[in-house]
Amino acid sequence: MSKLKKTNAARILDKLKIPYEIKTYEVDENDLSAIHVAETAGLDVSTVFKTLVTRGDKTGILMAVIGGADEINLKNLAKASGNKSVEMIALKELLPLTGYIRGGCSPLGAKKDYPVYLDSHALTHEKISISAGQRGMQLILSPQDLVKATNATVADLI
């Protein structure tokens, strides 16, 4: 088996001495959903978290990390982030803003250090899975370590 190429997200965790596992899976270009990732990677869907990139009317770009099967409540995110309103960014903005593509967006290692908001449900799990920053690769780590690595604010986002 070929040695995995480390992503920026993994290198950040290494630098912070935060333990994690890398889980690879087969990518289906037609289904990039976190639910499909969980099924393909053999992970419990409740532990697979997706990163959504949003824009607040006052603060600008924010990253929200929520359960893969959940829908974000933008009003809750706005309240947690001190915005009046928050909206999803257009898909065409994802790569220029973050350096990531759809299905491979990580809250770690984006082009800029955007504020990260983690849904409070993450803390009910011993380990969660987030994108490693490329399709076909997940990072498995404790939610507390993700908070530490991203300086995330924990809030009810769903």
Rounded average pLDDT over 51-70: 98
Q: How far apart, in whole angstroms, are the C-alpha atoms of residue 69 and residue 23?
A: 19
Q: What is the pLDDT of residue 3?
A: 53
State pTM to two decimals: 0.96
List, for residues 24-33, the tens digit of each pLDDT value. 999 999 999 9
Q: How far apart, in whole angstroms, are the C-alpha atoms of residue 101 and residue 110?
A: 11
Residue 12 has pLDDT above 70, yes or no: yes
